[in-house]
Amino acid sequence: MTGVSQDNHFLPINLFEYENLASQHLSQMALDYYNSGAWDEVTLRDNRAAFERVKLLPRMLVDVSDRNLNTSILGEPLQLPLLIAPMAFQCLAHPDGEVATAIAAASAGVGMVLSTLATKSIEEVATVQQNFPNALQWFQLYIHKDRGLTRALVERAKTAGYKALCLTVDAPILGRRERDRRNEFSLPPGLHAANLATISRLDIPYEQGESGLFTYFTQQLNPALTWKDLAWLQSICPLPLVIKGILRKDDAVRAVECGAKAIIVSNHGGRQLDGAIASLDALAEIVAVVDGRAEVLLDGGIRRGTDILKAIALGAKAVLIGRPVLWGLALAGTAGVSHIISLLEDEFSVAMALSGCAKLQDIDSTLVKQVSVSGS
């Protein structure tokens, strides 16, 4: 794949190799921003460890000569059960940033969720739909103290053709990411929070001794947000509402009662409350209480095709990946992200075959077993 090889013969063959190589292509500030978690990064690590605690129980002597990975999310078709999670400031990894990611996602037939804090605007990313009319694009929303600004963002997303509104609810304030604080994280000259700069001239400030993003959240986002505010949000936007950041059964029930069409089980990639449960460990109970009234997705720690298989076996309709996309961007822009997606697709197809699954409907809870960690 042109643009991915680091020399004439080397091509990463898994996401972990991409991670290692990305460190050579990112500034220390960008690398720490992308890869860090909150405080001691316990939850960040546990998101991966959770997949290792789930073991597979494959079926034998099943015809898997023809495998179908297709699914749909909120009625929209996907080539495999995968979306790109909302991630801020992708131009730190590559000049084309979120546009490059959107092209890769659309060409692979997977979904993409655009962050409020993107470095390419809602409208720029939506232009990808001109060449890929079936592209599944959602817009991720942070509700600001300025309701007029929030309304403007929502209206722009609707006008631009985004198919759902994805509200992040696990960030009333920003988690303490100590690597960002040490680096005094801010955007370098020439980069801006594009969606905000165009309507309010807001941007990520530089602040000595602090992360500029932490300061931004403190100054601009609304920590008083409650369940009742979802009615206001839905009153200004007819798009399906997706709630991202649910880890508790009772919150999942409330989300459905408040009109959510989908729930993303997520701990924000271990970047908010350190010590929070791993997303995968929270999944099955949430699927049970939702009981088909909304679609349930999962993010956090997906690095292998077997991870996708385990998440679906535990009830997820699809998964979202985050950091690996940034590693692909850092190495080769659109080509790198496309390769990340293709690696996961191939691994997932192989994992399905070796587990005795010819289609997604064959993947169920009988394929997995939770194993206790020795000494725990």
| Structure confidence by residue, pLDDT tens digits, 148-186 | 999 999 999 999 999 999 999 999 999 999 999 999 999
Cα–Cα distances (Å) from 226 to 38, 70, 161, 242, 267, in that order, read 23, 36, 27, 15, 18
State residue 376's pLDDT score.
43
* The pLDDT of residue 10 is above 80: no
Confirm whether 25 is a catalytic residue.
no
* The pLDDT of residue 7 is above 60: no
∠ CA 120-298-295, nearest 5°, is 100
97 is in an annotated binding site: no
115 is in an annotated binding site: yes
Average pLDDT, the chain: 95
Q: Which of 8-12, 44-48, 194-198, 236-240 has the lowest mean pLDDT?
A: 8-12
Give pTM, 2 decimals.
Answer: 0.96
pLDDT tens across 274-317, in order? Answer: 999 999 999 999 999 999 999 999 999 999 999 999 999 999 99
Q: Is-contact 205 198, C-beta < 8 A?
A: no
Confidence of residue 8 (pLDDT cuts 50, 70, 90): very low
Q: How far apart are CA 211 and CA 185, in angstroms?
A: 5
361 Cβ contact partners less than 8 Å away, ≥ 6 residues apart: none
pLDDT tens across 23-46, in order? Answer: 999 999 999 999 999 999 999 999
pLDDT tens across 118-132, in order? Answer: 999 999 999 999 999
177 is in an annotated binding site: yes
pLDDT tens across 66-80, in order? Answer: 999 999 999 999 999
Q: How far apart are CA 157 and CA 160, in angstroms?
A: 5
Cα–Cα distances (Å) from 217 to 117, 143, 214, in that order, read 11, 10, 5
266 is in an annotated binding site: yes
- Annotated catalytic residue within 94, 192, 268, 339: 268
Residue 319 — φ and ψ, nearest 5°? -125, 160
State residue 373's pLDDT score.
64
For residues 202 and 256, which has the higher predicted lDDT (pLDDT)?
256
Q: Which domains does the chain have, with CATH numbers?
A: 15-164+179-364 (3.20.20.70)
86 is in an annotated binding site: yes
For residues 371 and 16, which has the higher predicted lDDT (pLDDT)?
16
